[in-house]
Structure 1
Amino acid sequence: MLTVQQPVVGVAVQQPRAPDDYMGLAIFTTLCCFWPVGIFAILKARDVHKRTWQGDTSGASEASRAARRLSFIALAIGIVGLVISVIFTVVSIATIQVAINSTGYEDVIKEQPYTVEPSIVTWS
């Protein structure tokens, strides 16, 4: 008996690539930059996996863009806050230094050093 096997013709369906979730960036911006916006970025990044698993590729792409956008907003707020803090610190230190130099206290301190002499306290 002779058996002939027919060739199998199949169509390979390639799954669309899941969009990037930006979870690492969302966690970084939550911990290091501006946490209120970062939390929403983490939630959107989580939605990317959920929607991809459900087969909603357009929803996953939309959630990916939202996670990226929210992460960059949190990063920008964090950088602006850092720059403002540095400027405020430099201006404060410079103002204090000018105030100390303009009062002349350093001359008084140099001329009359403050010394504490021990005293004897007696109770009667």
Structure 2
Amino acid sequence: MTNPYGQQQQQPYGQQPQQFGQPPQFGQPQQPYGTPSGGMPAAPYGQPVQPGQPGQPQYPQYGQQAPFGQPYGQPGAVGQDIPDYKGWAIGCIFLFWILAIFAIMKSNEVNTYKMQGNLAAAQDASRQTRTLCLIATIIGAISWAIAVIMIIVAIVAANEAVDTLNSYNY
């Protein structure tokens, strides 16, 4: 039997190739899927694999140290010490939202590069995120300070205008 790509399909040992439109042969065991890809499993299906059998992976018991490096996601793992400054970038929305949007996008790039294993690009994106957040913080702090000073000046000017009007009324 051939598949649409012209390759010959393997039939399990002892079975005849089955043509389309023919009923299955009764009395013979049917194995519709053939052998599993990747070779035969170490243990038959339905039986639990016992640790310690030859050819089986050995896992450390609960509470024991892993035999190789730090597991992924643990403190000290490679690439986990690159900060993404996501909290700072989100907080910058209230300071200078235009730069904050770009800082959030760069922060997302840091995580993407870390997951891909590209630590140099993650470090570069982290540095750019920090720079954008710093600029947004400085501009936002100056803007808020100017806004507060302008509000105070407006209140004082309004009070003086009221006092001036009150003095003419007497």
Scaled by the length of structure 1, the TM-score of the pair is: 0.68
Structure 1 runs of 4+ aligned residues shifted over 6 Å read none
Sequence identity (%)? 33
Corresponding residue SS for 1:58: helix
Please tell me whether Structure 1 or Structure 2 has the larger radius of gyration of its CA atoms. Answer: 2
Shift of 1:12: 4.5
Q: Aligned to 2:156, which of 63, 72, 94?
A: 94
What count of residue pairs does the alignment treat as equivalent?
Answer: 97
Q: Which residue in the other structure is 2:91 paired with?
A: 28
User: What are the equivalent positions in structure 2 for 1:34-113 lying under 5 Å apart?
Assistant: 34-103=96-165, 105-106=166-167, 108=169
Q: Distance in 1 between matches of 2:102 and 2:88?
A: 12
> What residue ranges of structure 1 are gaps of 5+ in the alignment?
1-10, 112-124
Give the whole-Å Cα distance in 2 for the aligned partners of 1:107 and 1:38: 51
Contact preservation (8 Å) 2:79, 2:114: no
Greater relative contact order structure (CA < 8 Å, 6+ sep): 1
Letter in 1 for 2:89: A
TM-score between the two structures when normalised by the length of structure 2 = 0.51
Per residue, is there more helix in 1 or in 2? 1
Residues 54-90 of structure 1, C-alpha deviations (whole Å, 9 max, x = no match): 2111110010111111112112222111100110011
